[in-house]
Structure 1
Amino acid sequence: MGKRIAVIGGGIAGLAATVRLQQRAPADTEIILYERDAALGGKLRTGELAGLAVEQGAESFLFSAPDGAESAAVSLTRRLGLGDDLVHPAPRPAALAIGGRLTPIPPGTMFGIPGDLATLDRTASPEADADRDTGRPLLAPGEDITVGELVRARYGDQVVDRLVDPMLGGVYAGRADRLSLRVTMPQLARTAEAEHTLRDAVRAAQAQSKRTPGRPVFAAVRGGMSRLVAAAASASDARICLGQPVRELTRTPKGWRLTFGPAPAPQTDDVDAVILAVPAKPAARLLAEAAPETAQAVGALQYASVALMAMALPPGTALPDLSGFLVPPGEGTLVKAATFFTRKWPHLTDPDGPVIVRASLGHAGEEQRLQHDDETLFLQTHAELCELVGVKLPAPAEFWLRRWGGALPQYAPGHGDRILQVRAGLPPGLALAGAAFDGVGIPACVVSGERAAGDVCKHLDGA
């Protein structure tokens, strides 16, 4: 009789796990995917605005992996038959909104950290002579500190506040003074173990980059990320249970029992192995009985909330010749980033079509600013966009707002070591996957899901 494997969580990590299980597990294996929401995809969700597909979550993914090969997201997209539908952004620059004007992002930085201070021009003023050689490496082997602690000590506050914070905020919605260097910039953390100055550590990390010249940095799927979600669900051949939250996970003599569905009418399923591909808090709740100490460590991870708003402006609306801009937290705006969506993505560019602007709202710790109703947030966002771009934008024909409460993990220093301990404390036949454990971004989540699938297959092979 074939084995049964449960995947809890239908985001991209869980979907990647099911696809890998379908490829790796014996043909008679039953794969069951449980998703509490009414739709798969998690933070990959494509909406419609003025007749165009506009992402309500993640907009794109890295094209290349750190080793120079295609990223796991690109590889998965190709395996799912969507390789011909990969699209890339136009080569337009982005800017920073500082002091009421848009200024180009300095070239050659690593998440805003320059290897050459001369490139900063007037964007930020580094502290003179702070980055001096003290005769020892910046970090001890394996040491982890916040990004802000390192950069403030070496380059000063302005580089962090004006450059690093908005760059990290665009990805994590977090602040440099709270985010782990080793998680957010692993290459820089490694070179900082050998180099004596931040300048040399950045340059060494950049020199180690294996990105192929001329290869695009980002990619997306024509028609929207929801096509990737649908293709993965189809290829997995899994039994998909939508609207079915898993409420309990208990050990049995042969594996695991899942209690799922509405609380007044629960159902149960017995399976041989489980992949938890859900955020930290629900993962901790499900682990509480089988691995209480591990559950406590998992549940300690904090999250930031964000919201995304898209506006369909009239055809021909004038915008700066940019792909978009980032806003440092010190500017005090609700808007932390904006993308000129139809200008950034050439396949959507139509001189006779609507001009789509997508704004990201809220930094970590600003959740209360996102509690207003949709109309209030729209009016504030529209007013701020007018001020930030320096022109009076017309009223949009349509807009939508998507709220992502507790969506982005905030990795404190030591996160990597804690996750190693968490995984070491898991009972056999149970694996973890997703952004809570292995990093944000679609490629990282795909790698995480595929790794979890490999782990449970190895367990079952040896069982």
Structure 2
Amino acid sequence: REVVDRLVEPLLGGVYAGDAYRISLRSAVPQLFAEARHHRSLTAAVRALQEKTARAQQAGPVFMGIEGGVGTLPDAVAESVRRKGGRIVLGERAVTLGARGTERQWRVDTESGRTYDADQVIVALPAAPAAGLLRTAAPMASQELRGIEYASMALITLAYRTESARLPEGSGFLVPPVDGHTIKAATFASHKWGWIAGENPGLTVVRTSVGRYGDEKDLGRDDADLVDVARHDLREATGLDAAPVASHVTRWQDGLPQYPVGHTDRVARIRGFTGRLPGLALCGAAYDGVGVPACIASAYAAVDELSGDASGRTELEANPVQSLHGGAGE
């Protein structure tokens, strides 16, 4: 139990903002799940997976990010769509999705009263709004989607004068819940990502996270209180006692989907229901992985489904995408 509480829990909790005692091995660490089915112990499965990884000699860093921050990705995607003649409608919340029974087989109604007709629709929403959108077209899928739970969290970003911010070696640390602290993780962002250090000379940026599934009471604190708590826990962990020159709190309400035991089967049922409806597909973090690479792979697989090529989905199920990101604290 100590291994779970002090190693597994902070690692899985750091990525999924979840509870290691609830998270599905099959859904969260599918590569290890596959190996575990062929070995007599989990330790043997881990060793086999390590050997495979060593033989593959995967190049590149342990963690990957996007220069300028992940927020630049949707802007780049939008620009690419526009360059290719696509149209992006902003500020229009879709409220219902219905089948037309005509050549343009789908109708999307928006909150403003506008209607959009489409040959094909990909629903790339979190589970709850997706459930609302599909309640008429695919009621059984909608019911299953409502069963997917989410965790909320807050990120507290602190900027220090570099000369007063002495930090340990490394890119950050994770905090086991059994330690009784409020923050769940800390990332020494200026150490981890070169572009942050380059854009902020003379400053050291540290990011901490608060909140995970089943432990969201501290999210009720105001921003100033969260900053104070983050500073307190950083001081106890690293000795950093300087006052930050700037701080910012970002709150993610229902930001990370949870993958408990049975999640893979739930996703299969959802896709079984929507798969009976031509021209409709689903993708996103609620299904195949919470990281950006997994979401991109999920989107490509959805496009393949609509084009009549199931190989993308089959490949994704056989070889799930690993997320080389820093976890919920990023």
The answer to whether TM tops 0.5 is yes
Give 1:96-135 correspondences, 5 Å limit: none
In the other structure, the counterpart of 2:227 is 378
State the Cα distance separating 1:211 from its structure 2 match. Answer: 4.4
In the other structure, the counterpart of 2:22 is 178
State the Cα distance separating 1:405 from its structure 2 match. Answer: 0.7
State the Cα distance separating 1:213 from its structure 2 match. Answer: 5.0
Distance 1:232 1:297 in 2: 30
Letter in 1 for 2:186: A
Gaps (5+ residues) in structure 2? Answer: 310-330
1:296 equivalent in alignment to 2:146:
no
The ranges of structure 1 where at least 4 consecutive aligned residues each deviate by more than 6 angstroms after the TM superposition are: none
TM-score where L is the length of structure 2: 0.86
In the other structure, the counterpart of 1:369 is 218
The answer as to whether partners of 1:247 and 1:260 remain within 8 angstroms in 2 is yes
Distance 2:287 2:133 in 1: 15
In the other structure, the counterpart of 1:224 is 69
Paired-residue identity, %: 43
In the other structure, the counterpart of 1:441 is 291
In the other structure, the counterpart of 1:168 is 12
TM-score where L is the length of structure 1: 0.62
1:314-361 deviations in whole A, cap 9, x for unaligned? 121211122100000111222000011112223433695111111011
State the Cα distance separating 1:225 from its structure 2 match. Answer: 2.1
1:357 equivalent in alignment to 2:220:
no
Distance 2:201 2:148 in 1: 47
SS in 1 for 2:116: strand
In the other structure, the counterpart of 1:327 is 175
1:313 equivalent in alignment to 2:175:
no
State the Cα distance separating 1:413 from its structure 2 match. Answer: 1.3
Distance 1:211 1:344 in 2: 25
Give 1:32-431 correspondences, 5 Å limit: 157-209=1-53, 211-237=56-82, 238-254=86-102, 255-261=105-111, 265-316=112-163, 317-349=165-197, 353-392=202-241, 394-426=242-274, 427-431=277-281
1:21-50 deviations in whole A, cap 9, x for unaligned? xxxxxxxxxxxxxxxxxxxxxxxxxxxxxx
Letter in 2 for 1:310: T
User: What is the aligned length?
Assistant: 299
In the other structure, the counterpart of 1:98 is none
Task: Give the structure with higher Rg (CA).
Answer: 1
Distance 1:222 1:248, change over 3 A: same
Identify the structure with the greater helix proportion: 2
1:381-424 deviations in whole A, cap 9, x for unaligned? 111111121342x1111111100011111111121122122112
Distance 2:152 2:56 in 1: 32
State the Cα distance separating 1:239 from its structure 2 match. Answer: 1.1
RMSD of aligned Cα (Å): 1.7
The answer as to whether partners of 1:329 and 1:363 remain within 8 angstroms in 2 is no
State the Cα distance separating 1:437 from its structure 2 match. Answer: 1.0
SS in 1 for 2:65: strand
Identify the structure with the greater strand proportion: 1
State the Cα distance separating 1:224 from its structure 2 match. Answer: 2.1
Gaps (5+ residues) in structure 1? Answer: 1-156
SS in 1 for 2:88: strand
1:282-330 deviations in whole A, cap 9, x for unaligned? 1111111111111111110111111111111112121112210000011
State the Cα distance separating 1:180 from its structure 2 match. Answer: 0.4
Letter in 2 for 1:202: V
Distance 1:418 1:282 in 2: 17
The answer as to whether partners of 2:68 and 2:195 remain within 8 angstroms in 1 is no
Letter in 1 for 2:143: Q
Distance 2:25 2:272 in 1: 23
